[in-house]
Structure 1
């Protein structure tokens, strides 16, 4: 609807922004109101877990101890009841689809089944719709070609691959000792050569596993407890700055359905052959498996990782650096290989003499690269600088594809210099590098070829008990127009040394389906407190500057002298209005998928408890007095409060007192500048414009961010500094 002619141009713009941007930004910070938690048992508290200032090793040990204790309790109960453990929270046999698919997942529309089409045509004939001579007789194989690959054939060789229109699913669930003839958790330790990717799209995560599994000391920190007889396995992962324990049972998904009982098989001979051929050993598994037919550690680790995130669908697609972080608690940096400044420095890091790093690669340019698969993640297993027979030095990198073998026409392994069978492999080099040609996904290439072939490198720094982790979290209103905010973190360093600073947002993969409409990209400036504008130590932005790339966190690693420093965040938001809002999802799924909503909603609430705490509820509505969502920000000024999580983890919530946004400040300033004229503008334009259907719902982006600081200085401290008033909040810093 067109504005009134007597409205000035500037007034029209002001009116638009007043409608487009909400004057009171807010977000859903809790799926369930506190009253729904009231009847639950008190959550056990732990003195060390999840504190804002904790030794890295102590934080891990606390989570590992809780994991071991839970496994011991479950084993006692299994022994008492004489039954194997079945995980009620991730029961893939009793609630298969919730374990496989996300909150908003819906099956694709089927394009047809040939046999069903033939039956339908016959039914039409029997009911007189067609005369016998008019009935179209189409052979089944022809129908298959017409209808596409939407039918599962009886023969494994004819089973279709996943397509956009068809998503295959596992067909059966059985326990480890049913599937494997002689199951062993590991055979000769952990190795990247064990890893075979299955039907899931988690190559990023499998590549992350491959980068660390040759480090037994790292893997042993992940798989912390198990009782194979009872089928109980305990793992420890890293989430949003804290270690978390995850316990699973030993049920696994299989590719093939169970043998049909309708087949005449009086002596079970057909049944036994069927099980032996299709449901026995690692090859029978639907998802990831080990190369050895009796080794079980990888599918169980993958299942635990899927459970931690809610379902197998939640771990589809990702970036290898994030996977290494989640497995180790390290911090990864993403480097565009064509942007590397000091190649010698990168090479020295790849040599990794002190084992402080692990590395991964990806290839995303969508063009053929001598046999390598595009849109795919790879692991760096080794880097070697060796002398040729004439004394000339050669820099070589050993890389692995998580597929574990070539596919199609040899796709998946490097075909250039130093590839398997190439002329560079003389007897001298085969002996020197102890290498054999195998179809195992492993290949060598030169350092220079790696730089020119792959797109990005993921460098993950690992930590031990020499490091202290300090962190603070808060909620931030993200304006439509953004710069570096006055809402900042203050870091005090007492002792000189290496400091790793990570600006992070909540990992939405843990509550996929409840992310909402907004996606956030993080930037920050590190500067000395009181520094002049532009006089910064480090300026950090997302890799590639696009939402497609990993945007869970950004970080920098710097050498700092004792002093006080500031981290100034900059957050940009993108809105996808095709996504349903959180409140709409809750209303829809509370009736449609209540079990799945309970599962994902609990993860959502636990994550957001870092920055928000439960507030008082109105008796008649069950909503908060403060903001109507059942939660409120901490009003305690400089004080902070701890709240235990369901795993016994304490989460420190920082004050948000005085928190404002650029949007609120601009709106308030505009109202003051009009000095009363704004009311007249509203009276003139409300009737015409207030209900303008062309306007979208107001901009209302609120994010949760935290600063995580790793230092070998045990006295390092982090505090949150918020604007004192709306005027200060509106002072955007351009960097």
Structure 2
């Protein structure tokens, strides 16, 4: 589960290491580090200081946290000890299991991990108390610089930590992500796919397990083979059920990572198994095929070794795929390139990026229920030309992302409920912004599955060649936000063009 091979060569846009975007002084990580080494001081980050404002914005610190550098916590701190692995991720006192599940998936692919967590950092002779991590944000890679002061209580890390007390890469990664989003509290609650996309620049799809296609096992097998990141969870029916433990040792409303999938020979039959990890680093499934279950007695030692089957209380366990489908409700897959989502043929995908805004009184028209204002929303042209090989339709994915909502939490902003509709237009009739009457008399040809308060809404479509308009909207009118719309089209002649009210990124990049 990490991301597509070649963490640098396969990115969709040339990475821009924006030291300036992540640090007010505009100096890069290397410049700041050399400055500290020259002055003989340890770096202190003025943008994300070691104080309560970096922790919480709506609540008080429950106990007095003391910020300490790794060298003040243990004698021999290491950045990475014996490789960055899934067991380095143990959840602390913060409701960010969604982030931890994504980090666990990230460790499964070395190249993707090295893109997010630059590996040339340590506590060696050139240590200066400064570290950096890279995250994808709205079509660019940002280099986020932090100091290594971490919140502790009674000499132990309060938040994310490694099972090894003297290993600190995962705690520092969480701090950098907290800085990116304004505070540790801003990381409470979220969708695993959000962090997965920030680690890869990938595009996500969500499956409801009970309604998943017949070839769901093959979809997951292919996703893991292609180093996609995969998460899963169990729905809750009320807030009281959140993190409630089922009799089978599973936690409701909790983000898990899918870390493996395989068939095993059992009493003359092939059984499909799936491997899941709980980011808590403990609390595991106790049903068939769990760590100490009798089924393993009938599996050869060589098979057990192949599956890395160990009876450790490390939060990771195997279960039968049929049981997985019974007990889990949602699966999130993040693929670096959309061609990983369907068949095994290598496609060339074109990606077009649109940056835009919903502005009250201008372009914040709300969904189709609000006909009087719906037509004022941004309108994006899609020109689909070449059909899929051997098909009558053209395939594309539309991914609509609302920007910076997590960062704005401290100002009371919530995730808005967003979605989009797609309309066919006769090109020779279309020479500007479509008015109210067009939408009054023409139904949409396709739309996002649902309006939902997630950061990104993404769907795959097959439509006949022709000219279309995509209308991205919030559910209610007059709601303001910036958005980023990515169109992945399968053939290079498929175009997406912005209405003048939108700013389009220059050119179209191929993945």
Give the TM-score, by structure 1 length. Answer: 0.55
Matching residue of 2:169: 297
1:202 shift after superposition: 0.8
Q: Does 1:100 align with 2:55?
A: yes
Matching residue of 2:67: 173
Matching residue of 2:405: 508
| 8 Å CA contact retained: 2:233, 2:255 | yes
Matching residue of 1:540: 448
State the distance in 2 between where 1:702 and 1:293 align: 45
| 8 Å CA contact retained: 1:489, 1:707 | no
Instruction: Kindly provide the CA deviation profile for residues 344-367 of structure 1, in whole angstroms up to 9, marking residues without a partner as x.
Output: 145333343651522101112337
Which runs of structure 2 are paired with 1:63-74 in the superposition (5 Å)? 63=17, 70-74=28-32
Matching residue of 1:410: none
Matching residue of 1:343: 214
217-226 vs 76-85, which moves further: 217-226
Cα pair distance change 1:355/1:717, threshold 3 Å: same
| 8 Å CA contact retained: 1:478, 1:703 | no
| 8 Å CA contact retained: 1:196, 1:402 | yes
Matching residue of 1:438: 312
| 8 Å CA contact retained: 1:397, 1:444 | yes
Which runs of structure 2 are paired with 1:2-81 in the superposition (5 Å)? 57=11, 59=13, 61-63=15-17, 70-81=28-39
What secondary structure does 2:282 align onto? coil
Cα pair distance change 1:352/1:477, threshold 3 Å: closer
Structure 1: which 5+ residue stretches go unaligned? 1-54, 108-166, 257-278, 407-412, 574-660, 662-699, 724-735
| 8 Å CA contact retained: 1:78, 1:84 | yes
State the distance in 2 between where 1:346 and 1:565 align: 34
Cα pair distance change 1:344/1:218, threshold 3 Å: same
| 8 Å CA contact retained: 1:351, 1:384 | no
1:209 shift after superposition: 0.8
Corresponding residue pairs, total: 439
Cα pair distance change 1:561/1:313, threshold 3 Å: same
More helix by share: 1
Q: Does 1:569 align with 2:472?
A: yes
**Aligned to 2:352, which of 470, 474, 479?**
470
**Aligned to 1:451, which of 320, 325, 348?**
325
Matching residue of 1:372: 250
Matching residue of 1:388: 266
State the distance in 2 between where 1:551 and 1:336 align: 15
**Aligned to 2:140, which of 239, 242, 252?**
242
Bigger radius of gyration among the two: 1
State the distance in 2 between where 1:297 and 1:388 align: 39
Q: Does 1:310 align with 2:182?
A: yes
What secondary structure does 1:57 align onto? coil
1:239 shift after superposition: 2.2
Matching residue of 2:454: 551
Instruction: Kindly provide the CA deviation profile for residues 90-132 of structure 1, in whole angstroms up to 9, marking residues without a partner as x.
Output: 121xxx1111012xx143xxxxxxxxxxxxxxxxxxxxxxxxx
Matching residue of 1:482: 370
Indicate the structure whose relative CO is greater, using CA pairs within 8 Å and at least 6 residues apart. 1
1:304 shift after superposition: 0.3
**Aligned to 1:199, which of 66, 69, 93?**
93
State the distance in 2 between where 1:304 and 1:217 align: 19
Matching residue of 1:634: none
Instruction: Kindly provide the CA deviation profile for residues 425-445 of structure 1, in whole angstroms up to 9, marking residues without a partner as x.
Output: 125255412311011101111
Matching residue of 1:233: 131
Instruction: Kindly provide the CA deviation profile for residues 196-248 of structure 1, in whole angstroms up to 9, marking residues without a partner as x.
Output: 11111111100111122111111111023646411221111122343222111
Q: Does 1:705 align with 2:476?
A: no
Give the TM-score, by structure 2 length. Answer: 0.77
State the distance in 2 between where 1:431 and 1:423 align: 17
Q: Does 1:326 align with 2:193?
A: no
Cα pair distance change 1:178/1:437, threshold 3 Å: same
Matching residue of 1:285: 157
| 8 Å CA contact retained: 2:224, 2:260 | no
Which runs of structure 2 are paired with 1:633-672 in the superposition (5 Å)? none
Cα pair distance change 1:69/1:189, threshold 3 Å: farther
Cα pair distance change 1:349/1:522, threshold 3 Å: same
Instruction: Kindly provide the CA deviation profile for residues 295-332 of structure 1, in whole angstroms up to 9, marking residues without a partner as x.
Output: 11100000000000111000011111112112221122
Matching residue of 1:50: none
